Amino acid sequence: METRIDFTQPQGLPGERLRRRFGAPREIFAAHALNEVRAVLEAVEAAARAGQWCLGFVRYEAAAAFDPALPTHAADGPLAWFAAYDQALPWADGEDAAQEAPAHVVWRSSLTRDAFDQAMAQIHEAIASGAFYQVNYTAPLRGTLQGSPQALFDALLRAQPGGYAACMDTGEEQILSVSPELFFDWDGKHILARPMKGTAPRGATPEEDAALAQELRSAPKERAENVMIVDLLRNDLSRIAEPFSVKVPRLFHTQALPSVWQMTSDVQATTRPGTRLVDVFAALFPCGSITGAPKVAAMRMIQALEPSPRGVYCGAVGVVRPGADGGIQATFNVPIRTVALRGAQAVCGIGSGITSGALVESEWREWQHKSAFVERASQPFHLLETLALEDGAWRHLPEHLQRLQDAAAHFSTPWSSQVTQCLDALAAEHATGLWRVRLLLDARGRASAEAFACAPTALPVRLQLADQPLSDRWAHGEFVRYKTTRRAHYDAFAPTDPAFFDTLLFNEQGEITECTRGNIAALVDGRWITPPLACGLLPGVGRAIALREARVSEAVLRLADLPRVQAWAFVNSLRGWLAAELKLPAQS
């Protein structure tokens, strides 16, 4: 696996990135005991001052190397590991390291819901007793990799772009980090920390998305969680800062990530003359955003609740390189959103900060939102549009292309004129008749399309009601909001009885959402309504046309409302508006 970094330049121009790849290392620095960690960091700083680039990590379990009072489990690998390189090679945008088959991982949580609830109860009890006021509680996802580590890193980078990404190989372990969180950026004089605390899901519409961001910025619980860690970082930085130089120039900044909104704040300082890299780590490590506050008490709770070492997750991953005037430039992330591989065995930690105001159900949902990045990257998929081609003319083509382009932007998929060229070629080959066209766009932006003869649909179509809700993990996730070939959550509800055309779905709140292959409309009290996107459904093109033409309006429809429905319609762009009948379960 090729070693690479793709780091935001936090103190550079907007959008400026440090993208480099590396060949064979000149030297390896590794610490396997606590008393070796400081020496490794000193060697890394010396190598960078001599002109080398050093890329590596410090494991969470190295904490006691800087403060013996910080408790952790025993490490399961080197406490610190860095590779030194004579040069950093350019890595251009779009230049992929691997052309292998996509990677595939099926993840399973090591934590049951019951165990999560019990841990939350213990945390709330400890907070109430005054042991600490925030703790960061985590648990690993585990899986087995099919494919190459490089292919998985490429997919992770597409799933979580724009942060502080690095991949490296120690020989026994591969670290694939796509963390959005900056630990610190230090040029030998000025230091910036950017702790990330506060999370909200992304919205189903631009309006809902903006409202969720505003709610995150103003929520007392989220702001309190952020301020607690800002205060901790201010205190940590003061240990190496010149007097009165610690500042907080930006507080409660919301950052849009693909699956969540995150809140960050900036803490800056001027370091004292003679400060070394090891001094920075001694003051800051581990980052307070992944421990809690006070740090020692929070880490005691972490050790008690979490049965295994965190590893590189929640430690630090970064690069130390030559700086100005013989100095150094050190940039480290907090390795959340990070996968560690040993052979085919993959581990990825997920967690959140717990305060007195944390609600169990909300925190559990936050974990699901945070794990979406690795779910996205771990199973290959294509973006999908299903279009009607009738006598050589496309039905609602602009709307389909806009929806596909929106999905491409969301999933960081390249977009080009190849999409329309592909459709033009297919239309020329099918000048007569009605065709169902399946348009696909892969992760590299390559388009393909197939046409299938489309037979008339017998009316009315018969629908069955799902026997259980579509879980919130899917209903409010990106694989419902955007149309892709990742459809297992829909396929599980597909009718097995050929008498039924499709299945009507509902969410965990008992709200009707959609069918597995189209949207739904219901006539209630003489008015046609369709569920709003916030209930968790695909924004279908046929649905959008019906709304635009005022044939329907949005309104929540609950299971309890079903007896009031006077008529049903199945709606999509391919079939149009189809009269439907819903078979309700027999009353017991």
Give the model confidence (pLDDT) of 387-399 as tens digits. 999 999 999 999 9
Percent of the chain with pLDDT over 90: 82
Q: Which of these, 583, 580, 582, lies nearest to 457 by C-alpha position?
A: 580
**In a shared domain, residues 296 and 232:** yes
Any bridge partners for residue 92, and if so which?
Answer: none
Q: Which of these, 179, 111, 94, lies nearest to 373 by C-alpha position?
A: 179
Residue carrying structure tokens 């579509």: 470
> Considering the domain boundaries, does residue 415 fall inside one?
yes
Give, as one character, the DSSP assignment of residue 448: E
Residue carrying structure tokens 């088959």: 101
Question: Is 384 strand, coil or helix?
Answer: strand
> Considering the domain boundaries, does residue 517 fall inside one?
yes
Which amino acid type is present at position 174?
Answer: Q
Q: What angle, 0 to 180 degrees and rounded to 10, lies between the N-to-C axes of helices 295-305 and 113-128? A: 150
> Considering the domain boundaries, does residue 404 fall inside one?
yes
- Close Cβ partners of 82 (under 8 Å, ≥ 6 residues apart): 28, 29, 30, 40, 43, 44, 54, 55, 56, 57, 320
Q: Which of these, 559, 558, 548, 549, lies nearest to 584 by C-alpha position?
A: 559
Residue 129 has what pLDDT? Answer: 96
Q: What domain range is 30 assigned to?
A: 3-378
Instruction: Say whether pLDDT at 539 is over 60.
Output: yes
**In a shared domain, residues 394 and 330:** no
Q: Of 434, 453, 472, which marks where a domain is finished?
A: 453
Separation between Cα atoms, residue 136 and residue 350, nearest integer Å:
10
Convert 76-118 into a string of H (helix), E (strand) and C (coil): CCCCEEEEEECCCEECCCCCCCCCCCCCEEEEEECCCHHHHHH
Task: Provide the 10 A C-beta neighbour count for residue 221.
Answer: 14
**In a shared domain, residues 127 and 149:** yes
Which amino acid type is present at position 356?
Answer: S
pLDDT confidence tier of residue 201, bands split at 50, 70 and 90: confident
**In a shared domain, residues 307 and 281:** yes
How many residues does the structure list for the chain? 588
Bridge-based pairing state of the strands 447-453 and 434-441: antiparallel
Query: For 484-532, what is each residue's pLDDT tens digit?
Result: 999 999 999 999 999 999 999 999 999 999 999 999 999 999 999 999 9
Distance from CA of residue 6 to its chain's centroid? Answer: 17
Question: Is 171 strand, coil or helix?
Answer: coil
CATH number, domain containing residue 390: 3.30.470.10
pLDDT confidence tier of residue 295, bands split at 50, 70 and 90: very high
> Considering the domain boundaries, does residue 226 fall inside one?
yes
**In a shared domain, residues 410 and 331:** no
CATH number, domain containing residue 277: 3.60.120.10
> Considering the domain boundaries, does residue 499 fall inside one?
yes
Instruction: Say whether pLDDT at 98 is over 50.
Output: no
**In a shared domain, residues 182 and 142:** yes
Q: Which of these, 289, 333, 283, lies nearest to 312 by C-alpha position?
A: 333
Residue 94 has what pLDDT? Answer: 60
> Considering the domain boundaries, does residue 297 fall inside one?
yes
> What is the average pLDDT across 333-344?
97
Mean pLDDT of the chain: 94
pLDDT confidence tier of residue 301, bands split at 50, 70 and 90: very high
Q: Of 378, 393, 412, which marks where a domain is finished?
A: 378
Q: What angle, 0 to 180 degrees and rounded to 10, lies between the N-to-C axes of helices 220-238 and 277-284? A: 140
Instruction: Say whether pLDDT at 357 is over 70.
Output: yes
Q: Which of these, 570, 502, 506, lies nearest to 535 by C-alpha position?
A: 506
Q: Of 378, 395, 427, which marks where a domain is finished?
A: 378
Separation between Cα atoms, residue 521 and residue 495, nearest integer Å:
19
Query: For 441-475, what is each residue's pLDDT tens digit?
Result: 998 899 999 999 999 999 999 999 999 999 887 88
Percent of the chain with pLDDT over 70: 98
As for how many domains the chain has, the answer is 3
0.85 exceeded by the pTM? yes
Instruction: Say whether pLDDT at 588 is over 60.
Output: no
**In a shared domain, residues 122 and 246:** yes
State in Å, rounded, how far the first CA of the chain is from the last one. Answer: 60
Query: For 50-95, what is each residue's pLDDT tens digit?
Result: 999 999 999 999 999 999 999 999 999 999 999 999 999 998 766 5
> Considering the domain boundaries, does residue 588 fall inside one?
no
**In a shared domain, residues 360 and 281:** yes
> What is the average pLDDT across 327-352?
96
On whether the CB atoms of residues 503 and 463 are closer than 8 A, the answer is yes
Q: Please provide residue 497's backbone torsions phi and psi, each rounded to the nearest 5 degrees.
A: -90, 120
Q: Please provide residue 8's backbone torsions phi and psi, each rounded to the nearest 5 degrees.
A: -60, 145
> Considering the domain boundaries, does residue 117 fall inside one?
yes
**In a shared domain, residues 523 and 430:** no
On whether the CB atoms of residues 369 and 260 are closer than 8 A, the answer is yes
Separation between Cα atoms, residue 288 and residue 286, nearest integer Å:
6
Instruction: Say whether pLDDT at 101 is over 80.
Output: no
| Catalytic option among 181, 366, 375, 514 | 181
Query: For 232-281, what is each residue's pLDDT tens digit?
Result: 999 999 999 999 999 999 999 998 888 789 999 999 999 999 999 999 99
Q: Which of these, 439, 428, 419, lies nearest to 392 by C-alpha position?
A: 428
Question: Is 335 strand, coil or helix?
Answer: coil
Residue 95 has what pLDDT? Answer: 57
Residue 476 has what pLDDT? Answer: 84
| Catalytic option among 173, 197, 306, 363 | 197
On whether the CB atoms of residues 237 and 190 are closer than 8 A, the answer is no
Q: Please provide residue 87's backbone torsions phi and psi, each rounded to the nearest 5 degrees.
A: -150, 155
**In a shared domain, residues 393 and 373:** no
| Cα angle 422-574-480, degrees, rounded to a multiple of 5 | 85
**In a shared domain, residues 322 and 426:** no
Min mean pLDDT across 16-30, 148-162, 202-216, 297-311 is at: 202-216
What 358-366 contacts at long range (C-beta under 8 Å, 24+ apart), as own/partner pairs, is: 358/120, 358/123, 358/124, 358/221, 360/116, 360/117, 360/120, 363/120, 364/113, 364/116, 365/201, 365/472, 366/199, 366/260
197 is catalytic: yes
Separation between Cα atoms, residue 225 and residue 133, nearest integer Å:
9
247 is catalytic: no
**In a shared domain, residues 249 and 282:** yes
CATH number, domain containing residue 498: 3.20.10.10
Residue 496 has what pLDDT? Answer: 95
